[in-house]
Amino acid sequence: MSCARTSLVLALCAPAVGVPLAAQTGGTLRANQQIAVAVLAAPAEFRPDATVLSYGADGQLRPIRTGTGGMICLAPSPAEKDFHVACYHRSLEPFMARGRALRASGFKGDQVDSARFAEVRAGTLAMPAQPAALYQLFGGTLDSATGTVTGAKALFVVYVPGATAESTGLPAHPSEGAPWIMSAGTPRAHIMFVPTM
């Protein structure tokens, strides 16, 4: 199977626990493998033109493919114990990049969002003016030889900064089988979707 036509297998498979992804896959993935795996999180129509960012040995993200499309995808971090890739609309990049910078400077947990929210309210951190999607695959096991991921779970959200239950008609708490709004009323308000819908 070629890396360009990587498939995603959603089978039940426990990930290796406590072992960095690089060790699980026999070392660092080549650039073409990182690209093929990173874009799995995005809908197929957005994969060919997505920009892909990869973690260097210093833990910093750098582009390994500059795309012409609207999505930015993150390759899996070799330092993490669990598989995780994400793709999001490029209008979210200032918010996402700022979160990464804050974490790198020592901010943890709620401190990251508190700092970003203050910057959004001060007008120094831009949020998208329109809804913007984020797609993730996490957990599971990556087989770098075949380019398949088993046991991964999908998460899809649409950021709608400042949205509330009242402004959207969506519940502010999980509701079985229905979308709901998380972090309502904040800059990171987003609609959570059940992947099987």
Domain boundaries, the chain: 3-159
Q: Look over the chain and give the mean of its residue pLDDT values, rounded to a whole number.
A: 83
Select the more confidently predicted residue: 12 or 177.
177
pLDDT for the residue numbered 194: 66
Q: What is the pLDDT of residue 151?
A: 87
3-state helix, strand, coil in the chain (%, to 5): 25, 25, 45
pLDDT at 22: 45
Tokens representing 51 are 């920009």
Q: Which residues contact 91 (CB under 8 A, 6 or more apart)?
A: 70, 128, 129, 130, 132
Residue 74: which of 62, 86, 91, 88 has the closest Cα?
Answer: 86
Pairing mode, if any, of strands 153-159 and 190-193? antiparallel
Name the pTM for this structure: 0.82
CA-CA distance, 150 to 6, in Å (whole number)?
12
pLDDT tens-digit readout, 11-56: 222 233 333 344 344 456 888 989 999 999 999 999 999 999 999 8
pLDDT tier at 158, thresholds 50, 70, 90? very high
Compute the distance between CA of residue 103 and CA of residue 110 in angstroms, rounded to an integer: 11
Q: What pLDDT sits at residue 56? A: 86
Residue 59 binned pLDDT confidence (cut-offs 50, 70, 90): confident
H or E element, residue 133: strand 132-138
Q: Which of 6-10, 62-66, 135-139, 192-196 has the lowest mean pLDDT?
A: 6-10
From the number of C-beta atoms within 10 Å of its C-beta (0-12, 13-18, 19+), residue 144 rates as: buried
- Mean pLDDT over 91-98 rounds to 97
Provide the pLDDT confidence category of residue 4 given band limits of 50, 70 and 90. very low
CA distance linking residue 35 with residue 39, whole number of Å: 6
Hunting for tokens 């070629």 — which residue is that? 2
Tell me the torsion sign for CA atoms 13, 15, 92, 3: negative
